[in-house]
C-alpha cells in the first residue's frame, strides 16, 4: 500500500490551560482526529513514527520547541511538513514585548515577564520554521481570534488581545515553499456549531482529507484542500472566512487520496446557472499555442462534458472585440493559456484584462491561468494559482484539476 514516506507532521491541541481560560473539548477532538487521519493507511498515509501528537499537558513550551527541532533534524529538502495547531494565540499590542505569541499549556499571565518567558513568540516560531529544510511546509491554525484569555487581572498583567493577525501569518510564510492556513480572519471567531464534535473549520478540513477534496493522481494537494473546505466553512457560517497565505511555486501533495486510490471520474454536470458556456479559452492563436489548444486541450475539455467557447467559433461579420466581450460575459470562467507568445499578444492582453475587470465588477473569481511554456506573466496573473502544464508527466493530473474547477460554481471574492 502506498505511503507518504517522506512526510512528517506535528499536531497540537491545547484545551485545558493551567492558568488561563480553557478552550472547548472539541479542540482535543480536532487534534486527535487530524492525527488519526494522517496516520491512517486508508487515508493520508503518513508513517505513524513520523507524526507527533501533543495534547494539553504534553504541549509545553519545551516540548513544542523539541518537536519543531525534531522536524528540522528528521526531514530534508524533499520532505513534506504538516503542522496543525489548535490553541490560544495572543498579541501584546504595545511596549517592549509587543508582538504575537502562541500560548503553550503552562502559559503564565501574571506579569509581562512571566508571559514572555512561558509563551512562544512569533520570532521564535518563525526561526523554528525556517530551520526546517523542507521546501513543502503547511502550517494550519485553528485558533479563535475573539474571546478572553485571562483569568488573572492585576496591575502587572500585560494587555493581551486574543488571536493572531494576518501580519503574523505573512511573516511565518517567508521562505520558499511555506503555506499558512488559518481558520478565520483576525477580526472573526472560529465557530463550533451546536452539537458538533469538531470545530467548523477542522470538520471540513477532515472531510477534505477523507476524500472530499479532489485527488487527481491519488494525492491531495494543498490548494485543493483549501478550495474544497473554504466555501463550505463560509456556507455554514457567513461570519467565518478561512485564510490562505502562501509563498510557493508548486501546488504540492500533502496527503494520499484514500490511501493512494485513483479517484472516480469527475462529474460532468455543470452548475445550474445563467452562463451559456463553462469556459472561454484565451490563447495565442498561432502555432504552437494554436495546435496545443485546438487539437489537445479543446477536445479533452469537451470530452469531459464542458461547454467551451473559443475564437475559431466566433460568428462572422462581428467585430473581434465585440466577440471577445460577449464570450467573456457568457462564460463562467476565462481560461488563459500562458506562453511567451501569449504575453506579447495585444489581443491576449485585452482578453485577460477584460476578464479580470469583469471579475472585479462582480466580486467573483472568473479567471483561471495555465502555464503552457515557461514564462513570467505580469503580477496580476502571477497572483493567481497557476496550473503548470509545462511538464508532460504532470499534464494529466493538472488537466483533471482544471476540469474539476470548471465544473464548480464561481466563488465570490468576499467568501
Q: Considering only residues 363 and 13, tell me which one the structure prediction assigns the higher pLDDT.
A: 13
Q: Is 151's pLDDT higher than 50?
A: no
Which residues make beta-bridge pairs with 4? 46
Averaged confidence pLDDT in the chain: 88
Q: What is the CA radius of gyration of the chain?
A: 23
Mean pLDDT in residue range 117-144: 92
pLDDT tops 90 at residue 156: no
- Residues listed for the chain: 415
Mean pLDDT, range 185-199, rounded to an integer: 89
Residue 146's pLDDT band, with cuts at 50, 70 and 90, is: very low
Tell me what pLDDT residue 208 has: 96
| pLDDT tens per residue, range 231-252 | 899 989 989 989 888 877 778 9
pLDDT at residue 379 in the model: 77
Mean per-residue pLDDT, 147-156 = 42
Mean pLDDT for 118-140 is: 94
Cβ(183)–Cβ(143) under 8 Å? yes
297-353 pLDDT tens trace: 999 999 999 999 999 999 999 999 999 999 999 999 999 999 999 999 988 888 888
| Residue 90 contacts residue 168 (beta carbons within 8 Å) | no
Helices (H), 79-187: 112-118, 122-130, 166-172
Phi-psi domain of 175 (left: phi exceeds 0; alpha: psi -120 through 50; beta: other): left
- The three grid cell numbers given for residue 304, joined into one nine-digit string: 469531459
pLDDT for the residue numbered 161: 59
User: Which residues are registered as beta bridge partners of 90?
Assistant: 101, 162
- Check pLDDT > 90 for residue 65: yes
- Model confidence band, residue 89 (pLDDT cutoffs 50, 70, 90): confident
Distance CA 411, CA 364 (A): 6
Q: Which three cell numbers stand for residue 254?
A: 500533502
- Is 60 exceeded by the pLDDT of residue 158? no
pLDDT of residue 326: 95
Q: Does residue 156 contact residue 110 with C-beta atoms inside 8 Å?
A: yes
Tens digit of each residue's pLDDT (9 = 90 or more) over 256-313: 999 999 777 666 677 888 999 999 999 999 999 999 999 999 999 999 999 999 999 9
DSSP classification of residue 212: I
At 91, which helix (H) or strand (E)? strand 89-92
What pLDDT does 175 receive?
65
Whole-number Å distance between alpha carbons of 152 and 109: 7
Rounded to the nearest 5 percent, the helix, strand and coil shares of the chain are 40, 20, 40
Partners of 347 in the β-ladder: none
Helix or strand holding residue 343 (H, E): helix 340-343
Distance CA 134, CA 168 (A): 21
Q: Average pLDDT of 17-40?
A: 95
The answer to whether residue 148 scores a pLDDT higher than 50 is no
Question: Could you give the percent of the chain with pLDDT greater than 70?
Answer: 91
What pLDDT is recorded for position 150?
44
Other C-beta atoms lying within 10 Å of the C-beta of residue 231 = 17
Instruction: Return d(Cα 129, Cα 133) in angstroms, integer.
Output: 9
pTM for the structure as a whole:
0.80
Does residue 181 register a pLDDT over 90? yes
Question: Which of 17-21, 66-70, 176-180 is least confident?
Answer: 176-180
Amino acid at each position: 500500500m502506498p505511503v507518504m514516506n517522506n512526510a512528517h507532521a506535528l499536531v497540537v491541541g491545547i484545551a485545558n490551560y493551567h492558568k488561563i481560560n480553557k478552550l472547548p473539548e472539541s479542540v482535543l477532538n480536532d487534534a486527535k482526529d487530524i492525527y488519526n487521519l494522517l496516520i491512517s493507511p486508508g487515508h493520508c498515509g503518513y508513517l505513524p513514527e513520523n507524526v507527533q501528537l501533543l495534547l494539553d499537558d504534553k504541549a509545553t513550551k519545551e516540548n513544542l520547541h523539541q518537536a519543531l527541532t525534531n522536524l528540522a533534524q528528521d526531514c530534508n529538502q524533499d520532505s513534506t511538513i504538516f503542522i496543525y495547531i489548535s490553541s490560544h494565540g495572543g498579541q501584546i499590542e504595545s511596549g517592549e514585548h509587543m508582538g504575537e505569541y502562541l500560548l503553550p499549556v503552562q502559559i503564565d499571565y501574571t506579569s509581562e515577564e512571566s508571559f514572555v518567558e512561558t509563551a512562544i513568540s512569533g520570532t521564535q516560531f518563525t526561526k523554528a520554521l525556517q530551520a526546517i529544510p523542507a521546501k513543502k511546509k503547511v502550517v494550519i491554525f485553528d485558533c479563535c481570534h475573539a474571546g478572553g484569555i485571562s483569568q488573572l487581572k492585576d496591575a502587572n498583567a500585560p494587555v493581551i488581545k486574543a488571536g493572531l493577525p494576518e501580519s503574523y501569518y505573512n511573516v511565518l510564510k517567508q521562505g520558499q515553499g511555506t503555506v499558512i492556513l488559518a481558520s478565520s480572519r483576525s477580526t472573526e471567531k472560529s465557530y463550533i456549531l451546536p452539537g458538533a464534535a469538531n470545530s467548523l473549520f477542522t470538520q471540513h478540513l477532515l472531510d477534505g482529507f477523507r476524500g472530499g477534496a479532489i485527488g487527481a493522481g491519488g494525492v491531495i494537494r494543498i490548494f485543493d484542500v483549501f478550495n474544497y473546505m473554504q466555501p463550505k466553512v463560509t456556507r455554514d457560517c457567513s461570519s467565518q472566512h478561512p485564510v490562505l497565505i502562501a509563498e510557493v511555486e508548486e501546488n504540492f501533495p500533502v496527503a494520499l487520496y484514500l490511501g493512494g486510490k485513483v479517484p472516480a471520474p469527475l462529474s460532468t454536470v455543470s452548475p445550474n446557472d445563467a452562463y451559456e458556456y463553462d469556459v472561454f479559452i484565451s490563447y495565442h492563436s498561432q502555432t504552437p499555442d494554436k495546435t496545443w489548444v485546438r487539437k489537445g486541450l479543446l477536445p479533452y475539455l469537451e470530452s469531459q462534458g464542458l461547454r467551451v467557447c473559443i475564437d475559431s467559433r466566433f460568428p462572422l461579420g462581428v467585430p473581434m472585440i465585440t466577440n471577445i466581450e460577449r464570450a467573456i460575459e457568457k462564460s463562467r470562467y476565462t481560461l488563459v493559456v500562458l506562453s511567451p507568445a501569449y504575453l506579447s499578444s495585444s489581443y491576449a492582453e485585452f482578453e485577460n484584462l477584460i476578464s479580470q475587470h469583469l471579475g472585479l465588477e462582480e466580486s467573483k473569481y472568473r479567471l483561471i491561468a495555465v502555464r503552457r511554456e515557461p514564462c513570467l506573466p505580469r503580477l496580476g496573473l502571477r497572483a493567481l494559482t497557476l496550473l503548470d502544464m509545462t511538464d508532460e508527466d504532470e499534464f494529466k493530473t493538472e488537466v483533471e484539476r482544471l476540469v474539476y474547477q470548471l465544473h464548480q460554481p464561481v466563488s465570490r471574492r468576499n467568501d
